[in-house]
Copies of this chain bind each other. A is one copy, B any other.
């Protein structure tokens, strides 16, 4: 999106994006498709295809883009215990049977909180940090403990 913004009115093909950013072209096309569906870019795929950014960078919220590209899942819940059916009789424990729901809730709440962090920023902030590296770190150094 920064690249599209930088190129102004020129229509950029997914191939050019893939090559100049050195990002896998399948990922580029998937993301362009998502962005197109959600009104961030206009354009079309194909031989003479190309894309332009429809919004200014400060209208592109990083948190909204995060939500679009990485929808909430329970994939982050990695430390789940299995079903201890076999052992249940020999070692009755409420833990293995019930911790899954508890951790799912906790991870879901943590994930919501995590997403809030990104919602503080737009792509204009990202561009700002690229041009003046340290912008993000300085912003939080002041408030850090």
> A residues bordering B, Cβ < 8 Å?
2-3, 6, 16, 19-23, 62, 81-84, 87, 90-91, 93-96, 98-99, 101-103, 105-106, 109-110, 112-114, 117-118, 121, 126, 129-131, 133-134, 136-137, 140
Q: Report the minimal beta-carbon distance from A21 to chain B, rounded to whole angstroms.
A: 5
| A105 and B137 contact, Cβ closer than 8 Å, known pairs A21-B96, A81-B22 | yes
For the residues of A in contact with B, the DSSP-based class is: helix
Chain B residue, CB-CB nearest to A134: B105
Q: A109's contact among B3, B16, B95, B136, by CB below 8 Å, is which?
A: B136
Q: Report the minimal beta-carbon distance from A69 to chain B, rounded to whole angstroms.
A: 8
CA distance A93 to B1 in the complex (A): 13
CA distance A95 to B4 in the complex (A): 11
The reply to whether B118 and A87 contact each other, CB–CB distance below 8 Å, is: no
Sample of 16 further A-B pairs with CB below 8 A, known A98-B130, A99-B126, A102-B133: A21-B81, A21-B82, A21-B84, A21-B93, A21-B95, A98-B133, A102-B126, A102-B129, A105-B136, A106-B126, A106-B129, A109-B136, A110-B118, A113-B114, A114-B114, A114-B117
The reply to whether A2 and B106 contact each other, CB–CB distance below 8 Å, is: no
